Amino acid sequence: MTDGFSYVTLIGDVIHPGNLNVISEASKRGEVIVGLLTDKAIAERERPPFLDFQQRETIIKNIVGVSKVVPQHDWCGEDNLRKFKPKYVIHGDDWIHNNLSPVREKTIKIMSEWGGEVIDIPYTQGINSSVIMTARREFGTTPELRLKMLRRLIDSKPLIRIMEVHSGISGLIVEHAEIEKEDGLHYFDGMWSSSLTDSTSKGKPDIEAVDLTTRLQDLTNVLECTTKPIIYDGDTGGKLEHFVFTVRTLERNGISAVIIEDKMGLKRNSLYGTSVQQTLAPVEDFCAKIQAGKRAQLTKDFMIIARLESLIAGHSVDEALERARAYVEAGADGIMIHSKEKSGMDIKEFCQRFRKEFERIPIVLVPTTYNQFREKEFQEWGANIIIYANHMLRASYPAMVKVANSILENERSLEADELCMPIKEILNLIPYYE
């Protein structure tokens, strides 16, 4: 046993008095080793931290009383405990009752192997996750931090959940929506700027009629009130000469990725009826566009994801795979495979075969039609990113129609009131910083 050593587990993203209290209590008993949770470990139960591991490590190392900071790869820190055999593990006593209680039980068991002790110190009241979330919101983000976040998520989570946004308010909902489940917090990891919902919200068809500048005006509202990473629906990417400017513009704004689809001619939405047959772009042309985009980007973190329309256009999984190989070869950072086949079996076959050939290239799915599968199943197929591509807009439309019809029916708004958000709540929805 390392005599007198205490062990403390930290996330270290937002340092609050509760953390300092734990460190100070630990340091009264001798030297303090901090097990700093890795991004991957945090993402198992909570939202990923804003600061990356190195940034958090630098901060924690400089706190008075901390002797050493070591990476901790799971919530219990089993490997570290066995390696250092500390005399004490010090933790706030909230973990006796909250969802970390199984972690506490396990820690007690491990520590007992060498006669170590778990000390629960009174939890610092007033500090809880909502206080920290408010602090984070006020702290906001920067284009650099936001841009990098998608790659950090891909490295730290087996499956990334993305929701469509088309306005500041839909962005706010996606930023804050979360539910606590047995295995931890469930939330959206990022946002999808959809060409379908963006054009629909402007009363226009989804045919690349809304230019980048106009789309970015709305996206700016989302950027201003959110912190999560954004994947941009780049349609066909336009002409190669134009696409390079799109890449630069998106990067400058802190967008993490663009997805471009291999259609040619007038682009129609992929879920449109069968009467419109889309032609696919020649493979070489699309590869040249990917390569030009990759050459144009300034950061190493921005991602260009190639979207395969083969299955939408009635071609085989073999044809899609052939294109996928060429796009990866051209430098695509990920592949999106799309289909409107309800069974989802074409998508499953593609994912499994692609994953056998490419172990690490992310696969993106948009399960609008094959929505009977749960995220876990997509993960088993080999998918990494699931985009719910239009649900915020589709949810709002029937709600608005209902209220409009109720007022027409009743010739007053009394009956519609229960269908609406209370005035008090809407006034409090948007934080107001003085």
Question: Catalytic amino acids?
Answer: 206
Shortest Cβ 387–ligand SPV spacing (Å): 7
Listed ranges 268-276, 324-332, 343-351, 356-364: which one lies at the site for ligand SPV (CB under 6 A): 268-276
Which of 17, 6, 110 is closest to 63 using CA atoms?
A: 17
**Lookup: tokens for 175:** 């930023």
Under the binding rule (CB under 6 A), the answer on residue 193 touching ligand SPV is no
Tell which one of 175, 189, 218, 233 touches ligand SPV (CB under 6 A).
233
Beta-bridge mates of residue 300? none
Question: Residue 52: CA atoms inside 13 Å, Cβ hemisphere, count?
Answer: 13
Listed ranges 59-67, 192-200, 313-321, 354-362: which one lies at the site for ligand SPV (CB under 6 A): 192-200
Shortest Cβ 364–Mg ion spacing (Å): 13
Of 73 and 391, which CB lies nearer to ligand SPV in the complex structure?
A: 391
Shortest Cβ 366–ligand SPV spacing (Å): 5
Under the binding rule (CB under 6 A), the answer on residue 236 touching ligand SPV is no
User: Which parts of 165-204 interact with Mg ion (CB under 5 A)?
Assistant: 195-196
**Lookup: tokens for 388:** 């719910």
337 touches 311 (CB < 8 A): yes
Return the one option of ligand SPV, Mg ion, none that residue 271 interacts with (CB less than 5 to 8 A, by type): ligand SPV
Of 42 and 387, which CB lies nearer to ligand SPV in the complex structure?
A: 387
Q: What angle do CA 258, 263, 266 make, to 5 degrees?
A: 105
Of 271 and 407, which CB lies nearer to ligand SPV in the complex structure?
A: 271
**Using CB atoms, what's the residue nearest to Mg ion?**
195
Under the binding rule (CB under 6 A), the answer on residue 366 touching ligand SPV is yes
Strands of 237-384 (E only): list them: 257-261, 263-264, 279-280, 303-308, 334-337, 363-365
Return the one option of ligand SPV, Mg ion, none that residue 25 interacts with (CB less than 5 to 8 A, by type): none
Which of 251, 331, 245 is closest to 299 using CA atoms?
A: 251
Shortest Cβ 263–Mg ion spacing (Å): 10
Under the binding rule (CB under 6 A), the answer on residue 303 touching ligand SPV is no
Shortest Cβ 233–ligand SPV spacing (Å): 5
- The 3-state DSSP class for residue 289 equals helix
Return the one option of ligand SPV, Mg ion, none that residue 270 interacts with (CB less than 5 to 8 A, by type): ligand SPV
Residue whose entry in the numeric block shows the structure tokens 């409090």:
428
Tell which one of 145, 271, 313, 407 touches ligand SPV (CB under 6 A).
271
Tell which one of 19, 38, 269, 278 touches ligand SPV (CB under 6 A).
269
Beta-bridge mates of residue 233? 259
Q: Which helix (H) or strand (E) holds 34?
A: strand 32-37
Shortest Cβ 369–Mg ion spacing (Å): 15
User: Which parts of 370-409 interact with ligand SPV (CB under 6 A)?
Assistant: 389-390
Of 187 and 272, which CB lies nearer to Mg ion in the complex structure?
A: 272
Of 41 and 196, which CB lies nearer to ligand SPV in the complex structure?
A: 196
| Rounded alpha-carbon distances, angstroms, from residue 272 to 40, 299, 340, 350, 390 | 39, 36, 9, 22, 14
Under the binding rule (CB under 6 A), the answer on residue 218 touching ligand SPV is no
What DSSP designation does 245 have? H
Return the one option of ligand SPV, Mg ion, none that residue 111 interacts with (CB less than 5 to 8 A, by type): none
Under the binding rule (CB under 5 A), the answer on residue 107 touching Mg ion is no
- The 3-state DSSP class for residue 408 equals helix
Under the binding rule (CB under 6 A), the answer on residue 368 touching ligand SPV is yes
Shortest Cβ 174–Mg ion spacing (Å): 18
Under the binding rule (CB under 6 A), the answer on residue 196 touching ligand SPV is yes
User: Which parts of 218-247 interact with Mg ion (CB under 5 A)?
Assistant: 233
**Lookup: tokens for 53:** 């591991």
What's the CA gap between 24 and 8, in Å, rounded? Answer: 11
**Lookup: tokens for 260:** 């471009």
Tell which one of 9, 80, 170, 195 touches ligand SPV (CB under 6 A).
195
What's the CA gap between 290 and 332, in Å, rounded? Answer: 6
- The 3-state DSSP class for residue 249 equals helix
C-beta neighbour count of 129 within 10 angstroms = 14
Q: Where are the alpha helices (DSSP H) in 113-239?
A: 129-139, 143-156, 168-176, 195-201, 212-225
Under the binding rule (CB under 6 A), the answer on residue 347 touching ligand SPV is no
Shortest Cβ 385–ligand SPV spacing (Å): 13
Beta-bridge mates of residue 306? 260, 335
How far from chain centre, in Å, is Cα 51?
A: 15
What's the CA gap between 22 and 373, in Å, rounded? Answer: 44
Interface contacts to Mg ion, rule CB under 5 A: 195-196, 233
Interface contacts to ligand SPV, rule CB under 6 A: 194-196, 233, 269-271, 366, 368, 389-390
